[in-house]
Structure 1
Amino acid sequence: MYRITGLQLILLCAVPFVTILITLLFLCLCCDNGKCLKRYRFGKEPQQKKKESITSSLIYVTPKKKKKNDLSLSDINRGLPDTFVIPGTPPAHREVVACQQPPISNPRIMDRQHSMTSKLDPTTFDPSSDMYKPPPEPPRKKSLVEGPSLGILNFELKYSPDMNLLTLRLIEARNLQPQDFSGTADPYCKVTILPNCPKTMQSKVLRKTLNPQFKESFVFEIPEFDIHRQTVKIQLYDFDQFSRDDYIGDVLLPLDNVDLSDKLEVWKEIKKLKEKKMKNMEVPNLGDIMFSLSYLETAERLNIVILKARNLKQVSEKKDPDPYVKVSVFHAGKRLKKKKTTSKHSIVHPVFNEALVFNVSKNFLKYLKLEVSVIHDNRVGQNEVLGKVIVGPDSHGEELAHWNDMITSSKAVARWHRLFP
């Protein structure tokens, strides 16, 4: 009997199956023209041919819809195609209609002006225009004083007729001339109203500047009927720690033709007055006094050493004063303590060299002020005050500088001070 092996059995079963599979593939190729096999391509696809241009095609494909206001200049210049296809017709009966579109123009884009960052064309400028002409210079008033200019001072005046108060506010000075080889200055101002108000007020000292910013106000009491007879006088000095302060110049403003109904801002040149005018306008010279200040924190003691005085005024034409110095400690307008030196007989340049000591706590020191007065000891009648100076944290000028030096220094600091009425 003929035996069938395992291999022969497998071949007998596989042949019909392969025949059936080949038959099905052949039928698919014949019925579907091979389109079903295109889905199963192996390897890389060949490069597609470049698409023909839109204008050469009969079928117009509309681009993707853009958002509102999403129109560029290239889209406008590109235009629309020359031919359109009527939608809804079958492929075999499509009707092609020629449609020539008018050119699209955007006047908003065509008439756009140049940007601020674009280059300017110098040929378009008109040199005769008023825009390029410098403004006319204001007419300069004739100065009230003679001599070369030493800078310029800015201040304000305001008068209150209800309270009879004239407020003078120092603002600034510019282009001051240095008085020594350092090339700079330590300027301050002395303000007075002449002739009815001989009282002189002093500003603070500003260090190492030729363009100081003062920003200080001074108030004078003047009756309304007498205000136009007054003259504002501002003296500028250069502070010197080791000698007498250097005189810079003066600013004078007579109020006879000045309208004070509203706030008035003034710019005036700084000039040096002639000797005759200086004598007529100068506040009376009452002399100077020299004393030292020191504060010992551990013992809480304020030491004032009265050294000497000079150029004290005479009591009468033929009599020199008998001066002594009284130092008073004030707080909130009240005198707390006072001490005085011995009297010197008939002398205008006395030398005292006496120390006056006050017990003052450190926390209380910033609320005090010292009044140093030179007094004539009249043994017959009432004593006469020859002059005084006030030193404290609320003072100005040399007095304030002396007080601050005492606070910051551990040693005694001596200075000359001018006596005021």
Structure 2
Amino acid sequence: MTDPRHATTPADAPSGGCPAHAGAVPLYGPRFLRNPSELYREMRQEHGSVVPVVIEGDIPAWFVIDYREVRHVLSNPDVFARDSRRWNEWDNIPLDWPLMPFVGYQPSTLFTEGDEHRRRAGAISDGLFAVDQFDLRNQSERIADDLIDTFVAAGEVDLMAQFAHPLPLLAVAKIFGLPEAETPGLLRDMMTTVNGDEGALEAYQGICATMQRLVAHKREQPGPDFVTRVLNHPAGLTEDELISDLVLVMTAAQQPMAYWIGNTVRLMLTDDRFSMNISGGRRSVGQALNEVLWEDTPTQNYLGRWAARPVQLGGQQIDTGDLLVLGLAAANSDPQVRPVSEAAAGNQAMMSFSYGEHRCPIPAPELAEVICQTAVEVLLDRLPDIRPAVNVEDLKWSPSVWMRGLVSLPVSFTPSYVSV
């Protein structure tokens, strides 16, 4: 990753830092993790739609929490830009800052702007549009069955570790056309990277190396897969661009989908509106997936956007180079737009996949839903009496203000045996 403090900066990057916020709210800590929805309500009452906050290390930022303001920011990339080199706080950021992976400039589509972003994001979107959703569902079913086969005889399992986390990566590996011999190593490296375990940097480098080998393989043996399509796209991505964007797509897909699966299973096992229908109500899986996006969306908050010029937003003066944190979950809970529970079932207006030019590639949410819905349906079909193995109150959420998902989801069920 490029050291943003020494990288070439955009021509309109600021030279100074933004002043400390008066009465800033800490965007971290146990209170935030316990009940973020309650904290969003309090912020909205006290500060309105744009809240002065400090993130880890007491670094100042603006937290955009109302639906309309979040949408406005995401709809105006020329004003609220994506290139993190614009940040006016870089002189105060140490290289080992915990949030550096989110904001440190990298030559991937994530930080591009304007025509350059449209060129590269267009290649990704076009490659994903061609994915056959019926084939993806069949592949996801086989992956789910294979994973369940590894623990079905035990009568108990941690669904996060042995099902929700590996399944999305295995499905995306199929989309990429990754050779099966590469899959175990990629899965190991991804889990180490996502969990921040010892050796995380080496594991991330291992993911990059796997993508390099995959690109070389597809140059020699093209196939009907995403990587081949992007490789041959008229956008003409360079080798470095292609590898950076493949790593981005792979890593950006895995954890949100894992948490979407886990949060949905938790909802269906603990909420009477869903649990009473598990044994025959496949329709409720789609409803549960949608409700999770409104109530417990995996991507809670997003770093970020940087003001390209001074601007007023939600009654606050935003200076050039200021960081804006996008409160996607807070926007979903905005009482001005939040549908009542009954209406939420078919309402797709949530901010869970972001919005505007830098949203998830247009086909990605549909493909993610195919993978996650198939995973939950197969799980409930195979383990019809599945139940939580601990009290609901004892389930622990990941200690992150950026993502919302369970650390573990212990369940029990009647053991069965795999036919050979």
The answer to whether TM tops 0.5 is no
Larger proportion of helix:
2
Larger Rg: 1
- Shorter-chain-normalised TM-score: which range? under 0.3
Higher relative contact order (CA 8 A, sep 6+): 2
